[in-house]
């Protein structure tokens, strides 16, 4: 009796997962472009963000329509709310990938610091894994896994801290590297923000499964 609704819910679910993959790819490419100084790849990331934004609007429209026409309750409602909320987190993650792309384009023949670039690459790898894991946890509606993933955010924060200190040190040591170090710092903070958005999605997975609204990893007590 609710076959059409089931189909629509499934379509929403699939399109949300696809959006997650698009965003993960954008993050991955943006970091690679930054490390490789590949401005073409950076432009590709910026260009592809239009598709991500379009997808978010599409998911919102579908959700509004389903709420208006089907008046969903319980797990159906939670699924739709989760997609609406988590898709805007994904969209913001995509925006940060764009910012990393813009940093890449801005960089002109700066002196490079391999040690910091290695840390950024490692940090990006963790962020990427977090992004992939969260999609998997969403598909499986695995709230235990979501809580584990949220904990990985601490690792990202540690990288962020480490890169910050290294940039300060490097600048003190050789002031001519200041412009490049500023960009390193920016990219690290974009990655750190992406980790925070993944944590938000973890919270929505907990809601999806249990109906409880939780606050994971608040950064209130942390300083750099």
Partner 1 sequence: MQNYASEDRYIKELDPKKHEIALSTEDLHVFYGTSEAIHGVSLPFERFKITALIGASGSGKSTYLRSLNRMNDNIEGTRVDGKIMYRDIDINGKGVNVYEMRKHIGMVFQRPNPFSKSIYDNITFAPKRNGIKNKKVLDELVETTLKQAALWDQVKDQLDQSALALSGGQQQRLCIARAIAMKPDILLLDEPASALDPISTSTVEDTLLSLKDHYTIIIVTHNMQQAGRISDYTAFFHLGNVLEYDITSNVFQRPKIQATEDYVSGRFG
Coil, helix or strand for 72? coil
CB 99 within 8 A of CB 186: yes
Interface with partner 1, residue 60, by CB under 8 A: no
Nearest CA among 55, 177, 63, 198 for reference residue 135: 198
The residue (of 53 and 210) whose beta carbon lies closer to partner 1 is: 210
Candidate list 38, 58, 60, 76; residue touching partner 1; CB under 8 A: 76
d(CA 27, CA 131): 9
Angle at 89 between CA 30 and CA 219, to 5 degrees: 95
Candidate list 55, 78, 96, 193; residue touching partner 1; CB under 8 A: 78
Interface with partner 1, residue 71, by CB under 8 A: yes
The residue (of 73 and 224) whose beta carbon lies closer to partner 1 is: 73
108 Cβ neighbours under 8 A, 6+ residues apart = none
Enter the DSSP assignment of 220.
T
Site residues (CB under 8 A) for partner 1, limited to 192-211: 210-211
Candidate list 40, 68, 74, 223; residue touching partner 1; CB under 8 A: 74
Q: What is the CA radius of gyration of the chain?
A: 19
Q: How many residues bind partner 1 (CB under 8 A)?
A: 14
CB 35 within 8 A of CB 72: no
53 phi and psi angles, rounded to 5 deg: -65, -40
The residue (of 2 and 118) whose beta carbon lies closer to partner 1 is: 2
What mask, x for binding partner 1 by CB under 8 A, covers residues 7 to 46? Answer: ----------------------------------------
Interface with partner 1, residue 1, by CB under 8 A: yes
Q: Shortest distance, CB of residue 213 to partner 1, whole angstroms? A: 11
Q: Where along the sequence are the contacts to partner 1 (CB under 8 A)?
A: 1-2, 5, 71-78, 210-212
């Amino acid at each position: 009796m609710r076959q059409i609704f089931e189909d629509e819910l499934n379509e929403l679910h699939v399109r949300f997962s696809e959006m997650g993959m698009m965003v993960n790819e954008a993050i991955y490419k943006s970091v690679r472009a930054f490390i490789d100084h590949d401005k073409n790849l950076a432009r590709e990331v910026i260009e592809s963000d239009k598709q991500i934004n379009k997808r978010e609007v599409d998911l919102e429209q579908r959700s509004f329509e389903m709420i208006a026409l089907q008046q969903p309750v319980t797990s159906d409602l939670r699924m739709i709310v989760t997609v609406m909320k988590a898709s805007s987190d994904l969209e913001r993650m995509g925006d940060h990938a764009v910012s990393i792309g813009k940093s890449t384009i801005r960089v002109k023949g700066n002196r490079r610091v391999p040690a910091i670039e290695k840390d950024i690459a490692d940090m990006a790898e963790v962020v990427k894994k977090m992004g992939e894991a969260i999609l998997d946890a969403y598909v499986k509606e695995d709230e235990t896994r979501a809580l584990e993933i949220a904990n990985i955010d601490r690792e990202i924060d540690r990288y962020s801290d480490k890169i910050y200190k290294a940039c300060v040190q490097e600048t003190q040591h050789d002031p001519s590297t200041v412009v490049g170090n500023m960009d390193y710092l920016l990219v690290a903070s974009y990655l750190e923000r992406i980790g925070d958005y993944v944590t938000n999605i973890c919270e929505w997975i907990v809601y999806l499964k249990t109906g409880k609204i939780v606050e994971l990893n608040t950064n209130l007590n942390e300083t750099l």
